[in-house]
Amino acid sequence: MKSSKTNDHPLRKSLIDWYDAEKRDLPWRRTKDPWLILLSEVILQQTQVSRGVEYWEKISDRFPNPRALAKVDQEELLTLWQGAGYYARARRLHALAVQVSKPAIEGGFDGTIPGSIEQLLELPGIGAYTAAAVGSIAFDLHIGVVDGNVRRVASRQTGNSNPTHDLVSIWANSMLIPGRPGDSNQAMMDLGAVICKPKTPKCELCPISDSCEGKENPLAYPAATKRKKSIENLDAAVLLDPSGRPRLSRRDSSERFGGMWGPPMSDIATDSLTLVGEVVHHLTHRELRVKVWSGQCSKGTDPSTVPISNLDRKILKIAGVM
């Protein structure tokens, strides 16, 4: 990676001054409570900020600390998580709450979130990015976060179209203001989300444009990596009882949408069923194409009483249930 003027203190200061003036008003930025900050980071792993606020508010309201979550069944969290997708996050968050709620002599943390990167990384669902975000924001640990947004800004700032993870990490650490690592990281997150956007960077508004080696042609950085979505063909059987309620079962935790409820999607004999349509559902690296079949059963479940994923909602809707 080329040398850059971003190590100069005035540039880091420009970034933090911009953040202090322009930062997004997000509810988890009004607290230093590690649990509430961790909750926001888990939600934001795969949910946009605008929708994440709604989920964070209802989940933090219902579960204001790890113990409150640890003592209920996982399904209660999944019900609140409906519609946010990537339900493995919710299952792992529940496992995390159970783990940290154990007494210290049993390997837990007496109901608190631990304050070192090593301990955070041992918790279910916590990877390097989330550990660095929680560690810096809640515990003031001097460690830069690295994700796709930070990589893009680093690539443009340094004119390196394909920086390695280690180089981005060194650059992110160089941008931390001593004493304010959490705010520095959040400033970088905001810059990537609001100013240095993937397709429409607003260089004229960028607080660190002076040091940017890629601003003449920002879309060239980082180099595009083409990844084609794989297609998976599936069948779903919506079997209705005499009252019009579908047969639903809880998906095993080892399956996709584990812990959520839905109609049968495996071992389906379609001979006696009627094809009613097809649902296309996009996951990050996969496109699901689900043929929806309709038939009858003796006893169904009221869908409003169980947590159901967005895909299963679409399937039930096409079969005329929701």
Nearer to ligand SF4, 91 or 215 (CB): 215
Smallest separation (angstroms) from ligand SF4 to the CB of 217:
9
Report the alpha-carbon distance of residue 49 to residue 40 in Å, rounded.
9
Looking at residue 251, the DSSP 8-state letter turns out to be P
Nearer to ligand SF4, 146 or 153 (CB): 153
For ligand SF4, the binding residues (CB under 6 A) are: 153, 156-157, 195-196, 201, 203, 206, 208-209, 212, 214-215, 218
Nearer to ligand SF4, 55 or 221 (CB): 221
Report the alpha-carbon distance of residue 211 to residue 174 in Å, rounded.
13
Looking at residue 213, the DSSP 8-state letter turns out to be S
Bridge-based pairing of strands 274-282 and 261-262 is unpaired
Catalytic residue, chosen from 22, 41, 122, 204, is: 41
Active site residue 54: no
DSSP 280-291: EEE-SSEEEEEE
The residue to which tokens 């941008």 are assigned = 175
Decide: 130 and 93 in contact? Cβ < 8 Å: no
Residue of 108, 159, 133 lying closest to 43 (CA atoms): 133
Q: Give buried/exposed letters for 107-120 (b at 16+ CB in 10 A, else e).
A: ebbebebbeebeeb
Neighbours of 80 (CB within 10 A): 16
Smallest separation (angstroms) from ligand SF4 to the CB of 218:
4
Nearer to ligand SF4, 18 or 87 (CB): 18
Nearer to ligand SF4, 77 or 195 (CB): 195
Bridge-based pairing of strands 286-296 and 274-282 is antiparallel
Amino acid of residue 9: H
Nearer to ligand SF4, 88 or 203 (CB): 203
Report the alpha-carbon distance of residue 195 to residue 216 in Å, rounded.
15
Residue 310, token pair as written in the block? 């967005």
Smallest separation (angstroms) from ligand SF4 to the CB of 50:
21
Smallest separation (angstroms) from ligand SF4 to the CB of 5:
12
Looking at residue 32, the DSSP 8-state letter turns out to be -
Smallest separation (angstroms) from ligand SF4 to the CB of 157:
5
Smallest separation (angstroms) from ligand SF4 to the CB of 155:
9
Residues tagged active-site: 41
